[in-house]
Amino acid sequence: MLDATKLRGILPATPTPVTADGTIDVAASKALFSWLFRQGIDGLVPLGGTGEYGALAKDQRIRFAELSVEAMAETGAGGGEKRGPVIAGVLDTGYYDALSAGRDFAAAGVDGLLVLTPYYTNPTQAGIRDYFLRYADESPVPILIYEIPYRTRIAIDPEILHELSRHERIVGMKACNTDMYHFLRTVAGVDPSFAVLSGEDTLFPLQVAAGAKGGIVVTANLLPRAWRLIHDLASTGKLDKALEIHRTLIPMMNMAFAETNPGPMKSVMDLIGVDAPAMLAPLREPAEPLKRSLRRELSRLLVTYEGMPAAQPV
């Protein structure tokens, strides 16, 4: 059973490789998982915003959840315990659709669900609290709260998060609120059985130093070893060194998020052996100048942090 002790380290928010017809590209998906496992990640978080949840057909979401579970199970030595958890995103607007999706993913074998704050309806804080308590009571697997107010326009008061953290089946959260004081207030009062994970590549070392147990990191798909190094430094009191390395990633992050994620990232993933740049409507592949600039920058960083020859696929 998933609990906070398993929510540690680097858990990439994985993109969903798709073909031109919008179905899962199985070969590219397996190549992505293989790359990540070779670099030493601690879990997978498929089907969030980076995974283009809202654009994928329902059956394709379930298929990608299944592939993620199968890939993680294969990493256990000699058929033993798998390397880490698979936590599937649930980004539906309404409660019943969200619960149905969570049940489908649980049937596919995921260990937990990353449940987005209810949006569009503009709920009160009491409504948000009730939503997550009810979901946790009915979910077949433990859940994490996904707070990302710059996408949903819904923030959760730290006091509500403190209350939710005491529910035995709410085991953590992905913190994408860029207000660091909000983050500090949240970490200060959550239950010990609850793991706060950084959800912001741009703030990751600060959030780890302030109490995050790890992170659900987008660009860890491209540079998992670099993010592991930053995590290990920040979590052991070496924040100055963690920030020094993080600064070397800032130009890459600026480009990776210059157009809507995951478009820029997908366009250069052939450099790590994952050739699946197709996007799902309404998103589209990024502009050519951005692709070229990001490709140059990622090639340089792969040499520095992953020991790979410049501009060569795995």
Active site residues: 146, 174
Do residues 197 and 172 lie in contact, with contact meaning Cβ atoms separated by under 8 Å? yes
Here the tokens at position 134 are 């009810």
Q: Which two tokens stand for residue 293?
A: 């600039």
Dihedral over alpha carbons 172, 174, 176, 181 (to 10 degrees):
20
- 169, 139 contact by CB (below 8 A): yes
- The number of beta carbons lying within 10 Å of the beta carbon of residue 182 is 18
C-alpha–C-alpha distance, residues 134 and 173, integer Å: 16
CA distance 109 to 117: 23
**Cα separation, 104 vs 92, whole angstroms:** 13
DSSP 302: I
Rounded Cα distance between 253 and 267, Å, is: 14
Per DSSP (E only), the strands in the chain are 9-12, 87-90, 112-116, 143-147, 170-175, 195-198, 214-217
Dmax over CA atoms of the chain, in Å, equals 53
